[in-house]
Amino acid sequence: MTDYSVRLRALVSEPSRDVAGDGARLARVARTRDEMMAQGRAMSATLATQAEAMERIGHQLRARGIREVVVAGCGDSWHVGAGVAHAWQSCTGMPLHAVQAHDYACYGAAVAHAQTLVVGISSGGNTPAVMAAVRAARRRGAFTIGVSNTEGSPILTESDAALLVMASRKGWPTQSSTATMALLIRLARHVAGDSGVARAIDAALDEIPSVVDALVPQVDAQMRAIATQWASARWMMFAGVGPNHAAAAFGAAKIKELSPIHAVALQLEEYHHYRSQKAGDPLVMVATDPASRERALDTALVSASLGGRTVALLGDDVPDITARVDHTVRLPAVRAELVALVSSVALHVFAYHFAQARDALGLGYPGAFAPA
């Protein structure tokens, strides 16, 4: 029998463990807190330093006649694509597909062509699946852009164009994701030209860093209180639609990384096509724009009838939802194309406090996987 022990050690090389009080994990949780507090600044720095590069790339893409966009990534980098899709499509009128990089490398790249733009996102700059996706797309003649916060990394040097994210990722991903979303939304403006919608989204994007900087202290105490109340949960469900689903996916990812317990993100509609929630199950519902509202109300009705526990993240006052959930977190009202930039930050705050609350109770994950 083949000995795969070396291969396995590489696959599970993350030094932190799921057990309570693990020092390596808690140190990374603390670093995550530092980075999540500086997300507005990371967005501003990224947009400022990459302005000339985005203008140049926008000209190249217009000249090439790009007709479709693929954003390929793994983990949070994959969810970045979903977070910007509505903004990109509203600005440019062209479809954007957020794809899991390994899936795209194996299957999706087969239909790439000269008018396809493939954006490969890798924070570290050398994620094997993302590199494979970009290389497969280039073989098909697609135009590729590498995006990373690691200067000089292979994803930047091997792509047709490159954008550098001015963010750190010493903790689990927070500012590296939100700054990348801001960057790609600004790039859409350069591709779109001078349409009225693109100008309006671009102007609104200028305000987002200050909105985000004000948001963390605004929601910090409330998120700490909810997280403390829910700290004994062994799994958690998140739900949203469109860019709100992207935020839900970021929220689930942070819970899995920081706490660590099981967490899953559902499309809001899919909640209603299965017996998704049981009595006592915790649900975080992200419904910050009007398009989400009616299905969010349906979800609140069902959750309350089942005895579920629900937090609703809302962008305005919706009394019929608020009356039927355990907690409502009000977020600043922003354009629907930009909501993922705001709601993701609020869920980063929640995940941090949830991890801290579990540690205070001495809770790890029973039967935690801790290879030698």
Query: Which pLDDT tens digit goes with each residue over 323-345?
Result: 999 999 999 999 999 999 999 99
Residue 306 lies in a domain: yes
Domain of 164?
39-193
Does residue 54 share a domain with residue 162? yes
Query: What is the count of structural domains for the chain?
Result: 2
| Contact in structure between 17 and 25 (CB atoms under 8 Å) | yes
CATH number, position 110: 3.40.50.10490
The whole-angstrom separation of Cα 322 and Cα 311 is 9
Does residue 145 share a domain with residue 256? no
Reply yes or no on whether the pLDDT at 19 is more than 90.
no
Question: Which of these three, 166, 193, 220, is where a domain ends?
Answer: 193
The conformation of residue 361, written as its DSSP 8-state character, comes to: T
**This prediction's pTM:** 0.96
CB atoms within 10 A of CB 305: 10
Q: Please report the DSSP string for 283-340 in residue order.
A: EEEEE-SGGGHHHHHHHHHHHHHHT-EEEEEESS--HHHHTTSSEEEE-----GGGHH
Sign of CA dihedral 204, 328, 287, 258: positive
Does residue 227 share a domain with residue 173? no
291 CB-contact burial (10 Å; exposed 0-12 / middle 13-18 / buried 19+): middle
pLDDT band at residue 218 using 50, 70 and 90 as cut-offs: very high
Reply yes or no on whether the pLDDT at 53 is more than 50.
yes
Q: Which of 309, 325, 287 is nearest to 229 (CA)?
A: 309
Location of structure tokens 């739900």: 239
Q: Which two tokens stand for residue 174?
A: 């927070």
Query: Which pLDDT tens digit goes with each residue over 293-325?
Result: 999 999 999 999 999 999 999 999 999 999 999
- Residue 372: what pLDDT? 45
| Contact in structure between 342 and 331 (CB atoms under 8 Å) | yes
- What burial letters (b/e) apply to 208-239, b meaning 16+ CB within 10 Å? bbebbbebbebbbebbbebbeebbebeebbbb
Residue 245 lies in a domain: yes
The whole-angstrom separation of Cα 123 and Cα 46 is 14
Give the 3-state secondary structure of residue 289: coil
Residue 164 lies in a domain: yes
Strand partners, 240: 267
pLDDT band at residue 366 using 50, 70 and 90 as cut-offs: low
Reply yes or no on whether the pLDDT at 279 is more than 80.
yes
Sign of CA dihedral 114, 119, 125, 130: negative
| Contact in structure between 70 and 113 (CB atoms under 8 Å) | no
Does residue 216 share a domain with residue 157? no
The whole-angstrom separation of Cα 199 and Cα 202 is 5
- Residue 371: what pLDDT? 46
Q: Dihedrals φ, ψ of 15, to 5°? A: -75, -20
Give the 3-state secondary structure of residue 312: strand
- Residue 168: what pLDDT? 96
Location of structure tokens 């909501």: 339
